[in-house]
Amino acid sequence: MSNVTVYNMEGNEVGTLELNDAVFGVEVNEHLVHLAVVRQLANNRQGTQKAKTRSEVSGGGRKPWRQKGTGHARQGSTRAPQWTGGGVVFAPVPRDYSFKMNKKEKRAALKSALSDKVANGKLVVVDALTFDAPKTKEFAKVMTNLNVNDKALVVLNDNDANVVLSAKNIPTVKTGLTNTINVYDIVNAKTLVLTQDAVKTIEEVYA
């Protein structure tokens, strides 16, 4: 089992925490991580694009001129794709881009993402995150104390409105809960910040 240092909000070391290797020490399966990210982005697509084919465009039912004898090239409809105002060839239609992943695959992908952060030293554990009132400046100060200067995902165990609102206006920080964490957010963040309670909950659920 790997140990990580636990910090307080001032950035001082206050102890160590033993991580469960069944969650934070698994072999990283890059294929599953990639699949989970692609799936999440695909599932977020609206898929509402639509254009009309020649059969759907209004008009064009009559042959514009007779087949032979006019000198024109033969035409069957004024709504054929080569005409201005005609239909679109192979026009896009609304579709569902989402696809399924097995439950075991999803769990393995999440464990892989968490383990990768630990292996690369990009996991920061805080004993607790609490604020008396929503203060962006205070939250930014905590991030500086923890030496988190790039894109970060802060995972809380409980939905603390003061913490969430304090982080809301910092463009490089995203907050999440233990029951809403996903592979894309973890991979997309350079640093993963977890509270001690969040670590325990994640280990209980995924170990």
Q: What is the pLDDT of residues 101-127, one digit of tens each?
A: 999 999 999 999 999 999 999 999 999
- Residue 184, helix vs strand vs coil: helix
Q: Are strands 123-126 and 173-177 parallel, antiparallel or unpaired?
A: unpaired
Closest CA to 75 of 26, 84, 5: 84
Is residue 207's pLDDT more than 90?
Answer: no
CATH code, 3-42+98-206: 3.40.1370.10
- What does the mean pLDDT of the chain come to? 94
Element (H, E) at 108: helix 103-119
- Annotated domain spans of the chain: 3-42+98-206, 46-96
Mean pLDDT of 155-178: 93
pLDDT at 67: 96
pLDDT confidence of 169, banded at 50, 70, 90? very high
Pair 89, 81: CB distance under 8 Å: yes
Please compute the mean of the pLDDT values over residues 189-194 and round it to a whole number: 95
* C-alpha torsion 161→164→169→171, nearest 10: -170
Once rounded to an integer, what is the mean pLDDT over residues 8-34? 93
Residues 6+ apart with CB under 8 A from 61: 77
pTM for the structure as a whole: 0.84
Residue 191: the pLDDT is 95
